[in-house]
Structure 1
């Protein structure tokens, strides 16, 4: 199910047929370096993709992972996580791109696409993006976008103090 599209990219539901690409980029240590998830074996990845293919979209107080694919052939390039707050006032956004898709403005285009889609489909007032303070690629992407840096924190993640930079984008 395609949710939004541009000439080269589409935002869509993840599907069971995405398993090879999904496992490949989610198993890449460089891609996973600043992410909050762990690589999945084939059985767990298949279960996850099946769940995301059928999970309700934009359900308050839950995460939805959406696929980012090439429009031309539906080849999966990455995924975007969206968490809608319980009260529906805001969303948190995360993005994971295969290494081959990085550095080509695909992330920027994907973030623009998902933000426009979220503002169109929901009543949220703002979208939050949080990045590890050393994730230079994510920080560069957010600096190019209409997101504004709001503050920095040192959060305890899995028992490790982690410096994070917070950004927000408000509905126009």
Structure 2
């Protein structure tokens, strides 16, 4: 599959390289983040290197594996976080995830970067469906998914284990046709505002 480098208004969303391993390990070592996503703390640098190495060895996004995309701010080249996308063995269905540095949260970066990745996945890779899984206590992540158009499809009670601790798992889903309909509606609204001379 093509190895995308995506540009949004504020970000370049690109495949991770080994130079990003320190940043990835640091981001995942935040206790609050790890608590909601199920990582050990501190997150070992060796594990970050192995994750990126595995992605590079596959030659980019491929069925059956995860791909990690660094989200780099245009203005200063700083990584604000990452978006991850998993493709199933047939390449029909995917799962998306995202993690931001603490200082980058609440500024719309997760929505902006995920929009770019989803649009590419649905239009270039022809993904049929994308899922997401979050800790139900993660209200900020739920808001991102809802803003992207995901529907809550149910919560699996006490199904996600982190060591000896079990938590619930809230599941969300989005179909390609739903994504396309939302994009078409957004373009239509923008056209109407442009024709009326109103800012958008």
TM-score, normalising length: structure 2:
0.76
* Distance in 2 of aligned mates of 1:66 and 1:161: 29
1:144-163 alignment to 2 at 5 Å? 144-154=147-157, 155-158=159-162, 159-163=164-168
* Distance in 2 of aligned mates of 1:151 and 1:60: 25
CA contact (8 A) 2:153 2:173 kept: yes
Task: Select the structure that is richer in strand.
Answer: 1
CA contact (8 A) 1:89 1:126 kept: yes
CA contact (8 A) 1:2 1:10 kept: no
Query: In the alignment, what sits opposite 1:131?
Result: 134
Judged with a 3 Å threshold, the aligned counterparts in structure 2 of structure 1 residues 78 and 53 are, in CA distance, closer, same or farther, namely farther
Query: In the alignment, what sits opposite 1:92?
Result: 95
Query: In the alignment, what sits opposite 1:118?
Result: 121
Query: In the alignment, what sits opposite 2:170?
Result: 165
Unmatched tracts of structure 1, length 5 or more: none
Unmatched tracts of structure 2, length 5 or more: 178-200
Judged with a 3 Å threshold, the aligned counterparts in structure 2 of structure 1 residues 161 and 28 are, in CA distance, closer, same or farther, namely closer
1:15-94 alignment to 2 at 5 Å? 15-38=17-40, 39-94=42-97
Task: Select the structure that is richer in helix.
Answer: 2
* Distance in 2 of aligned mates of 1:58 and 1:31: 25
CA contact (8 A) 1:5 1:71 kept: no
Q: Which structure has the larger Rg over C-alpha atoms?
A: 2
TM-score, normalising length: structure 1:
0.88
Structure 1 consecutive aligned stretches of length 4 or more whose deviation exceeds 4 Å: none
